[in-house]
């Protein structure tokens, strides 16, 4: 029996560029940076003072103060993005979605803000003063559970914590659920709100972050010779995924098809990619095969493209290994140049971007790419978007721990 085709029928997002899909897309194709000086806490004692923060979001106003105080920001953002996605898919947000709908979310570090606050309270005021809600705020699966409760999702529920590959893995595992007939629909995506003083300090200690405090909007420069690290970002992106039959029966608009998924582990180093991107190579090959494509049929790659010296060089090498001479013909871009790195929320955001790239026939740019690295010599769409009709797109996500998740999308 042939496997069911999996489609995307709804999109929702809140991220450093904008708080909805339409404004996000317009920002991306116009090269708009969402990165700036941090406003949510004092950075005077930190070596890095900028990030990609969500802007103009008041959880108290959005969901009411009583509900907002129960949730870590990562969960607040995921509920917000899910609401947009469900409405976009023409689903009734007032009705329970029920047992034939699953949910798979990815996150890198869960409720880290709530974790820090609980530890701070414990140290300063003792165990008896810890917020009774702390555990349910800081659990990595809190966003998945809270969204399921909010919208009555009673099917299978998974939370994936494979660092920066987490929500790419979430989309891939959702695809497998639908293909294999476990459920007809899955709410899939990712969320992260890890821009805190401690996480900024910790990432800075391992020299993973850019230190370009004077020019935050220019700090994230994937594939540029002068790149000096990634930029922290936050946000949530949610996709409504369902079988093609379910979408047609509902009369739903189809954005595109989730055609291929590949996942591997480097088993090499906890933070560094394997030399030449060995694990990434196999993940890309698996995703292409799963989609039933050849290397000649991949038109666009949304690169992991973090702006770290090691990632960009090794990802470039991996793409060359997979595609050979064709690697020089494929259009590539890193939208992290505009959002920063959304960590566990990045894969879902970039899945959304890949689908919109196919649907709209516009390739978003890699901004700040002004001095190309000799070892990064592919078509990275520097600084300006390109109009181009495309049929297939690949999205790469790689994470600490050696996790690799690759997705392939088709226009039709």
Residues acting as catalytic residues:
164, 304, 341
Q: Which of 71, 143, 144 is nearest to 103 (CA)?
A: 144
Helix (H) or strand (E) holding 317: helix 309-323
Cα distance between residue 143 and residue 188, in whole Å: 12
SS3 200: helix
Structure tokens at 263: 């996942």
Cα distance between residue 395 and residue 382, in whole Å: 18
Query: What residue spans of 89-212 are helical by DSSP H?
Result: 112-125, 134-138, 142-151, 166-179, 197-205
Structure tokens at 276: 């030449």
Residues 336-373, buried b or exposed e (16+ Cβ, 10 A)? bbbbbbbbbbbbbbbbbbbbbbbbeebbbbbbbbeeeb
CB contact at 8 A, 372 and 378: no
Helices and strands in the chain, H and E counts: 14, 14
Dihedral sign of CA atoms 59, 62, 68, 71 in order: negative
Helix (H) or strand (E) holding 62: helix 59-63
CA-based diameter of the chain, in Å? 63
Angle, vertex CA 30, rays to CA 27 and CA 35, nearest 5: 55
């Amino acid at each position: 029996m042939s496997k069911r085709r999996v489609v995307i029928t709804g999109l929702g997002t809140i991220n450093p560029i904008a708080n909805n899909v339409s404004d996000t897309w317009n920002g991306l194709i116009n090269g708009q940076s969402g990165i700036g000086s941090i406003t949510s806490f004092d950075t005077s004692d930190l070596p890095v003072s900028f990030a990609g923060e969500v802007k103009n979001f008041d959880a108290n106003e959005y969901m009411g103060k009583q509900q907002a105080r129960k949730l870590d920001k990562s969960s607040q953002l995921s509920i917000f993005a899910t609401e947009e996605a469900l409405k976009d898919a023409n689903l009734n947000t007032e009705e329970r979605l029920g047992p034939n709908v699953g949910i798979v979310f990815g996150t890198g570090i869960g409720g880290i803000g709530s974790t820090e606050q609980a530890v701070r309270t414990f140290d300063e005021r003792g165990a008896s003063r810890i917020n009774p809600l702390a555990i349910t705020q800081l659990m990595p699966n809190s966003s998945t559970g809270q969204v399921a409760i909010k919208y009555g999702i009673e099917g299978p529920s998974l939370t994936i914590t494979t660092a920066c590959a987490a929500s790419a893995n979430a989309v891939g595992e959702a695809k497998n659920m639908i293909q294999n007939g476990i459920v007809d629909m899955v709410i899939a995506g990712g969320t992260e709100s890890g821009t805190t003083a401690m996480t900024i300090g910790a990432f800075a200690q391992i020299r993973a972050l850019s230190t370009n405090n004077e020019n935050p909007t220019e700090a994230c420069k994937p594939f540029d010779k002068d790149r000096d690290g990634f930029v922290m970002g936050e946000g949530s992106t949610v996709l409504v995924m369902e079988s093609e039959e379910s979408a047609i029966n509902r009369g739903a608009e189809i954005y595109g098809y989730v055609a291929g998924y590949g996942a591997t582990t480097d088993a090499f180093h906890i933070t560094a990619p394997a030399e030449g991107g060995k694990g990434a190579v196999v993940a890309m090959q698996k995703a292409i095969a799963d989609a039933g494509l050849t290397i000649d049929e991949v038109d666009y790659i949304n690169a992991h493209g973090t702006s770290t010296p090691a990632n960009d060089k090794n990802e470039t090498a991996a793409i060359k290994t997979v595609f050979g001479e064709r690697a020089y013909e494929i259009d590539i871009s890193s939208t992290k140049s505009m959002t920063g790195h959304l960590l566990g929320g990045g894969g879902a955001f970039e899945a959304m971007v890949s689908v919109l790239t196919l649907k709209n026939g516009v390739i978003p740019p890699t901004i700040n790419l002004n001095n190309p690295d000799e070892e990064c010599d592919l078509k990275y769409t520097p600084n300006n978007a390109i109009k181009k009709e495309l049929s297939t797109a690949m999205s790469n996500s790689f994470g600490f721990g050696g996790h690799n998740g690759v997705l392939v999308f088709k226009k039709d």
